[in-house]
């Protein structure tokens, strides 16, 4: 998102927990595209993160908010095998963190009568997600929040778009065991998302994932769909 928006001449506010990577990316975008970039290193799992972001961006007008941060353990434990503090951290980052950003900047947009909010979620929020169940539950929260927000802001001048993504080519070799036709390239997804703002309330940006979700949510019973996605996840993640 950052690169595409910078290429269109938009100034950016970037937030990331990885301080050095954030500084390097910000410098790269400034140099290549000549845009202003405010970088805010912080952990979205920290309850005070929204206050630090607000302080760093005081006076800046946010016209487009993209909520695209996430946390899930790389070892993908079963729900009851995951330590409770990890569950809580996931909720803090993936649910409360989204809510904090949306509440602060959404209110500013509503007061001005214009703006756009993109909520990056996942297809597992519409289906189920054995072996990444807590992550899927967080994504379901994002979808529910986003759709309600879209309706409540109708006529306000503020557009809301929920992006329901699939597997993305951003995780190195993590998805090597999955069918490669299901994996999307980020730059193509971002183009589709940005073009859908103001036209749709929800977007599944790739045809393979639309077909996959159609099968899971419309053509199968709920029980069969959960069994199917569980087997799919077990194979893709190497679970026994």
- Least confident piece of the model among 107-111, 201-205, 208-212: 208-212
Helix runs in the chain, H state only = 2-7, 19-33, 49-56, 84-90, 97-112, 133-152, 186-196, 207-217, 222-237
Q: What values do phi and psi take at 12, rounded to 5?
A: -125, 150
CA-CA distance, 106 to 1, in Å (whole number)? 19
Q: Which residues contact 52 (CB under 8 A, 6 or more apart)?
A: 40, 42
- For residue 181, the model assigns a pLDDT of 59
Sign, Cα dihedral of 68, 185, 238, 225: positive
Q: What values do phi and psi take at 43, rounded to 5?
A: -100, 115
For 48-70, how does the pLDDT look when each residue is reduced to its tens digit (9 = 90+)? 999 999 999 999 999 999 999 99
Q: Which residues contact 149 (CB under 8 A, 6 or more apart)?
A: 102, 106, 117, 119, 160
- For residue 162, the model assigns a pLDDT of 98
Nearest C-alpha neighbor of 230 from the set 218, 239, 220, 221: 239
Give yes or no for residue 176 having a pLDDT over 80.
no
Query: Average pLDDT, whole number, for the chain?
Result: 91
- CB 221, CB 146: distance < 8 Å: no
> What is the residue extent of each domain of the chain?
61-237
The whole model's pTM is what? 0.90
CATH level 2 (architecture), domain 61-237? 3-Layer(aba) Sandwich (3.40)
Q: Which residues contact 139 (CB under 8 A, 6 or more apart)?
A: 94, 121, 122, 124, 125, 129
Give yes or no for residue 167 having a pLDDT over 90.
no
Residues 157-172 have a mean pLDDT of 82
Residues 8-36 have a mean pLDDT of 96
């Amino acid at each position: 998102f950052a690169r595409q928006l910078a290429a269109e001449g938009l100034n950016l506010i970037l937030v990331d927990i990885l301080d050095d990577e954030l500084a390097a990316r910000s410098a790269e975008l400034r140099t290549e595209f000549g845009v202003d970039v405010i970088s805010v290193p912080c952990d979205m799992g920290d309850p005070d993160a929204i206050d630090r972001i607000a302080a760093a961006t005081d006076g800046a007008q946010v016209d487009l908010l993209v909520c695209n941060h996430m946390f899930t353990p790389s070892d993908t434990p079963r729900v009851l095998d995951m330590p409770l503090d990890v569950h809580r951290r996931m909720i803090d980052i993936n649910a409360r963190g989204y809510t904090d950003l949306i509440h602060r900047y959404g209110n500013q947009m509503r007061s001005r009568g214009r703006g756009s909010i993109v909520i990056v979620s996942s297809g597992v929020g519409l289906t189920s997600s054995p072996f990444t169940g807590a992550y899927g539950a967080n994504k379901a929260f994002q979808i529910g929040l986003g759709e309600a927000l879209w309706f409540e802001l109708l006529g306000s001048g503020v557009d809301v778009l929920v992006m329901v993504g699939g597997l993305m080519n951003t995780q190195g070799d993590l998805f090597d065991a999955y069918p490669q036709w299901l994996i999307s390239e980020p730059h193509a997804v971002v183009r589709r998302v940005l073009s859908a703002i103001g036209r749709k309330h929800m977007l599944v940006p790739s045809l393979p994932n639309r077909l996959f979700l159609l099968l899971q949510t419309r053509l199968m019973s709920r029980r069969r769909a959960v069994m199917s996605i569980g087997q799919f996840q077990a194979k893709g993640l190497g679970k026994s």
